[in-house]
Structure 1
């Protein structure tokens, strides 16, 4: 285990409330939101209903995480809650699979950022693999400087990535104020479809993944019992409202067929209601959005295995920190594995990698949400809301498909040999923590 002295309070290295909110919102608002309206366009008003359900479910799960953190601030985040409720093996399996999904998703974020940047620097697109690897290690270098440096970078990129979302919101009343009427998608005569609402809810949940970020990085947050609950609720609610307004406007205020086939629905909206020149800048904001999200998840990909190491679920060297308080071994290993993934998948198209990683990340993260809701019920914390979150997680996991859910379970089991090796090599006398 890492020396406890390395983990005493160091305010200059901790994330305050604004940085914790930026971590939550920055990890939720990634490159995918710029493509999501195209996927939701065919659903019409069913997509709006899907957003409403997803935001409600995400807020329920966020509230559960907030209450668990407030009551158990020393647990170390979601995996700690699961360990206290169900024991070490379930905690390891959830944490292991979640960690794998993070660094694999980071590959997709880096590829997306390079794809957007290549619109302005074509040479990057000609050497996609090298550009992607370079970007991964640039962000790794930022995180090497500690959580505070990563948090500052996250605040800046969040402010920049909010610009296109705010632009769409401003253009909505301008569009309705024009002399020519807006051809708004009509509400379906037969009412909403449960199947369509469920289908859209799967897509909208993927866009809201990441509200657990502050809780996962609990060791790097100042006054976690207060800061994490506030950051989680504020970040989730703010992002959900932004998504609901912006994505619904794009899907309903433009012809569905045009939005569905568009590779840049945000640009299409801005070009329609403002002009072509402003629309060209959306690609730059999308690149910054992907870069900021990559930064936030790089922080998580280092902190999660370090937390598992402090719980004794991974070898202790995962938790060793440099003078900036960064778990360097975990950070470097995660980025090295991400680099290997880029090299091994360099022949795949961006869309193929993006789709696969999105589905897998959603499924694995749902198991994390499901486990946390179940842990809250087991520990009798926020029981009514935890029950809502549990039902929502099960419903969405079922909607994701049996194949993907089975794949995520296999991913969880794949880490058990490492867990067994960690237990065998651990010092004698380690006691199993009591189950609530």
Structure 2
């Protein structure tokens, strides 16, 4: 009872969960314009799939007794190798996602300064942003949490203003023209839109690992994560629909700063520049928080023996400087491999790769959920159904990211298995230590 004052109720936890899923939205209206306003169908189906995953992850958090987040969930069904692959794939997902966020910052900056950047310039400026945010991680946990809160505020305030006040600037004729400009079927639309609609929900799994912070978690956590998922779905539908009824689709599909352009159509160029500037600073702050999350994931993995020791070594100030440098080097390699004259296409390719990598631990967690509940003495058919539904949806979402992304994702997992094999000897006792003659 002495710790109950430090716990949050269902409303507060719902808000915390929503915050964990609001990063990375700043390019979504442009990606949606590449499909058309008919992507509304994809938002609906993705929200339903995300609700199933949210409930399943809430049950994972309820039954889990192991450390390591997604890796701890996977360990129930797949042992230490499952723990490694889940955290390895999640780390790869964050590495790629953070590169994508850096490119989105450069995209908004190019719009703010009204300059056209070559593919090489995009790579160089994105590299500088990654280096800057990586160095900022040295500020520690408190600084990263503050930057996360600030970034959420700077991004969400203008988005909320556009979503609500934008309704008064909504033009049905512009929206109708944007409905299905590429003449896709509903099935094609859902498939083409899946990667960026699911991107808006990624992060729901992390909220479910903090059940100890919630009052009456068995009741409140499922309510909170499902409510947050519905809220994100409704909010995403609102701001994409409003913007598609303000900015002509041909303009929006080529926009490097969709929220800034929407505000410019509403209030003029100066207001558009102000929103673009807020998005640049806000997204940069979010990237600091995600770089910190990645560094901590790599550090904890190194401590467990899953990742190279360099990621776990800290200096006298408890800062993993070598790990930060190693992380940045990997991101530089990823950045150099994704160069494209179009920042929108580059960002789209990266979020597809990141989504595929993120879905690997999702499938492992869903496959392990029934084992988790049985070991906890429970036997719920609803939980089992959610696990199967969440796993099937994750596999479907993975396939819809495209065969190129799936292939690269599979290769990434295979490389991870090889890495695990090289390090496995340090994690378990050999069955026979005698030399074979």
Please, what TM-score do these two structures have when normalized by structure 1?
Answer: 0.78
Would you say the 8 A contact 1:185–1:253 is kept in 2? Answer: no
Instruction: Give the corresponding residue for 1:409.
Output: 410
Would you say the 8 A contact 1:150–1:299 is kept in 2? Answer: yes
41 and 116 in structure 1: CA distance in 2 versus 1, 3 angstrom threshold: closer
Instruction: Give the corresponding residue for 1:386.
Output: 387
Task: Please report how far the alpha carbon of residue 119 of structure 1 lies from its aligned counterpart in structure 2 after TM superposition.
Answer: 5.0
Q: How many residue pairs were aligned?
A: 412
162 and 415 in structure 1: CA distance in 2 versus 1, 3 angstrom threshold: same
278 and 122 in structure 1: CA distance in 2 versus 1, 3 angstrom threshold: closer
- Rounded to whole Å, the distance in 1 between the matches of 2:337 and 2:196 is 24
Instruction: Give runs of aligned pairs for residues 281-360 of structure 1, distance below 5 A.
Output: 281-315=274-308, 318-319=311-312, 329-342=322-335, 344-345=336-337, 348-349=340-341, 350-351=343-344, 353-360=346-353
Please, what TM-score do these two structures have when normalized by structure 2?
Answer: 0.78
354 and 198 in structure 1: CA distance in 2 versus 1, 3 angstrom threshold: closer
Find out whether 1:185 has 2:186 as its counterpart: no
Would you say the 8 A contact 1:114–1:125 is kept in 2? Answer: no
- Rounded to whole Å, the distance in 1 between the matches of 2:346 and 2:30 is 18
- Aligned partner of 2:47 among 39, 49, 55: 55
- Rounded to whole Å, the distance in 1 between the matches of 2:63 and 2:225 is 15
Instruction: Give the corresponding residue for 2:160.
Output: 166
Find out whether 1:106 has 2:98 as its counterpart: yes
Task: Please report how far the alpha carbon of residue 84 of structure 1 lies from its aligned counterpart in structure 2 after TM superposition.
Answer: 1.3
Task: Please report how far the alpha carbon of residue 400 of structure 1 lies from its aligned counterpart in structure 2 after TM superposition.
Answer: 2.1
Instruction: Give the corresponding residue for 1:433.
Output: none
- Rounded to whole Å, the distance in 1 between the matches of 2:29 and 2:367 is 32
SS in 2 for 1:242: helix
Instruction: Give the corresponding residue for 2:109.
Output: 117
Instruction: Give the corresponding residue for 2:204.
Output: 211
Instruction: Give the corresponding residue for 2:401.
Output: 400
Instruction: Give the corresponding residue for 1:70.
Output: 62
- Rounded to whole Å, the distance in 2 between the matches of 1:225 and 1:95 is 28
Instruction: Give runs of aligned pairs for residues 354-373 of structure 1, distance below 5 A.
Output: 354-373=347-366
- Rounded to whole Å, the distance in 1 between the matches of 2:34 and 2:347 is 20
- Rounded to whole Å, the distance in 2 between the matches of 1:192 and 1:287 is 35
- Aligned partner of 1:202 among 195, 212, 236: 195
SS in 2 for 1:34: coil
Deviations 1:145-171 (A, max 9, x none): 333321111001101100221121222
Would you say the 8 A contact 2:252–2:258 is kept in 1? Answer: yes
RMSD: 4.2
Would you say the 8 A contact 1:198–1:399 is kept in 2? Answer: yes
Would you say the 8 A contact 2:123–2:339 is kept in 1? Answer: no
Instruction: Give the corresponding residue for 1:248.
Output: 241
SS in 2 for 1:99: helix
Task: Please report how far the alpha carbon of residue 356 of structure 1 lies from its aligned counterpart in structure 2 after TM superposition.
Answer: 2.7
Instruction: Give the corresponding residue for 1:376.
Output: 369
